[in-house]
Structure 1
């Protein structure tokens, strides 16, 4: 077998392993640090190359047998070949590396990851695509096509039950999102089609079905347009298009970390930017004087308002952070940031720095944009105290982290 022999040294942000050949960086998926790998180059750039592994010549002791037969072809998981304890360590190293390289912070305290007892079958929400034959699956790991699947070991059983029971024969189907309230047993399908016709479907389950129209609005044609989930003793309505953490079990740990970092004393004003359905801030509403929440998603704000019924110290506002933060006149003591992968809009961050809240907790699912934004916040008068990884995405390369920042004394 011909190919290039590469020694693997590190794991990179994005999930690939990193090797070098004649001084040039080579990114190799499905390899591990310490391994010797025979690879085939598939892309060459001036500063780096990408390759696919042909043979593992010398295996790492951290290598394990993947549980799923689709692993390596399906792009849903990137690290099933990695022992779980090693996955946790790689996440911590990636956080350290990104903070050093992008934010120029070399002495950051990154705590050991908060792990799962059972790091399988945890996802309460998946998005499936339809292939040319009408079969459902995930986008492929190394090319842009749909890989039809027969099993999935990160889906919660409530999701997989829907996947198995689902029978849709509709050529114009594009995507199917399956969502479940893992603590309530509620199940929901969100269908996206080329046109705006609802497909006929069969499923031997009491499930809600919603059609997402091309203008972003939804039409409910079976059941409700939401599921309910319970976290930290509180119920949350989550509409079909609203954001909610994909790992319900770990969300309790996430909430505990945010609460510990903010340590509210009862008199503060708490600002929750990118608040979603209110998961983080509503769990702290009885510990502060006032909660202000901002999110661009209209459905999520409607959910947050519904979820805050009976709370007189809560106000949610719909709009982008960059639109609403500059006009915020209230003095703020505590801030929660939980942006999408793109991180915080530059204008929103500038407005946030002007608010000069004493404590900010940044919840991130992308180490690179976390490091970028923290670097800007450090330049703007904050210090990074520590970072706590919370393992929300076992078997994947995704990294969830909670960072505590404090305003430096003037």
Structure 2
């Protein structure tokens, strides 16, 4: 894929962009196979590819420049704003709304935060787009000083971009390298974004995590649901459940499904999406602590941890728990391989690579594990 920003050395985030896309996928497949090569009998399914452009359903844009000429994109080495509003990996709807948001920044008097001088108000503009075309926009501010101005000028923004159905102000007073703070101030009546995923409607709240690539995420959920239905467990845990994507896709009559997630915001989203499904419940908690404290294990566990993996404690518990099957969805095949090595009684039988992030080294791998009968 050709990118003017990359060619001009303005943004080099897509490190693999010069490599033809089929070669990117092949190299990622080979890397994943090498990392899991010790597991005899593991069958790899055909990889899931992404569109090369327009695949990102969210944009985390650093606010820079001046009030009269704001930039939305990244910062250069000197802390100056670099405008990336035409970034080709963002969904077309997001690219369309970014110029409107830039004009709104000026109109509402949201002075971009100057990182070197630690002055200004607007730190980030975060945009998430649903598959319906509706959008959630979050303005990350240094303080509440411009919230009243946001409210005053919001009708103009919504008239210019009616696809924005959720808008909030997020407060990040500290000068540190994070994207958002803990306080979220709703600006619109609606506070959630509906995200259809096949037969399941997920409910996204401002601080809840969701996969960046909607098309590939739907394939991931569908693949896991097929594996779960094949082994037909009567009980299932979805650990690190986020907004409940795996739990809700794997739910079935007579199957008790429990999702555990440390983020209270994500759990509220999951509960809203699960209304009317009595066999599905969600709770706030640490995944490892929940497993260690549970009186008995389920028949199947789905884990979808952050890049660090599930770690020694949870791997050890799964190894000795008697759980018959595990589905491990990983965004880091290195920690996946390490965790699988700690669970020798759970044999990887099928795996699939999903290219969630074209033009980067990042990759998603999902593996179905079955307990070796000799270990029971």
Mapped pair 1:193 → 2:141: yes
Number of matched residues? 337
Q: 1:376: which partner in 2? A: 342
Q: 1:46: which partner in 2? A: none
Shift of 1:264: 4.5
Shift of 1:282: 0.6
The one of 152, 165, 170 aligned to 2:87: 152
Q: 2:3: which partner in 1? A: 68
Contact 1:296 1:318 in 2 (8 A): yes
Trace 1:119-268 onto structure 2 (pairs within 5 A). Answer: 119-131=52-64, 133=66, 134-138=70-74, 147-167=82-102, 168=105, 169-170=110-111, 171-182=120-131, 184-198=132-146, 200=149, 203=157, 204-206=160-162, 207=164, 208-214=166-172, 216-264=182-230, 266=232, 268=234
The one of 351, 362, 371 aligned to 1:407: 371
Which is further off, 169-178 or 334-343? 169-178
Q: 1:93: which partner in 2? A: 30
Change (3 A) 1:212 1:152: same
Q: 1:41: which partner in 2? A: none
Cα displacement string for residues 332-356 of structure 1 (whole angstroms, at most 9, x for unaligned residues): 1111111112211433333333433
TM-score, normalised via structure 1 length:
0.75
Contact 1:267 1:289 in 2 (8 A): yes
Separation in structure 2 between the aligned mates of residue 198 and residue 107 of structure 1, nearest angstrom? 59
**Larger % of strand: which?**
1
Shift of 1:174: 1.8
SS of 2:315's equivalent in the other structure is helix
Contact 2:63 2:72 in 1 (8 A): yes
Segments of structure 1 that go 5 or more residues without pairing to the other structure are 1-65
Trace 1:281-296 onto structure 2 (pairs within 5 A). Answer: 281-286=247-252, 289-296=255-262
Mapped pair 1:398 → 2:362: yes
Contact 2:125 2:140 in 1 (8 A): yes
Change (3 A) 1:197 1:95: farther
**Larger % of helix: which?**
2
Separation in structure 2 between the aligned mates of residue 198 and residue 243 of structure 1, nearest angstrom? 26
The one of 271, 284, 306 aligned to 1:318: 284
TM-score, normalised via structure 2 length:
0.82
Segments of structure 2 that go 5 or more residues without pairing to the other structure are 112-119, 173-180
Shift of 1:152: 1.0
Change (3 A) 1:286 1:198: farther
SS of 2:74's equivalent in the other structure is strand
Separation in structure 1 between the aligned mates of residue 212 and residue 99 of structure 2, nearest angstrom? 20
Separation in structure 2 between the aligned mates of residue 299 and residue 369 of structure 1, nearest angstrom? 26
Separation in structure 2 between the aligned mates of residue 255 and residue 361 of structure 1, nearest angstrom? 11
Contact 1:247 1:393 in 2 (8 A): yes
Separation in structure 2 between the aligned mates of residue 92 and residue 361 of structure 1, nearest angstrom? 19
Change (3 A) 1:146 1:99: farther
Shift of 1:194: 2.4
Shift of 1:287: 5.4
Q: 1:298: which partner in 2? A: 264
Separation in structure 1 between the aligned mates of residue 126 and residue 12 of structure 2, nearest angstrom? 16
Contact 1:357 1:407 in 2 (8 A): yes
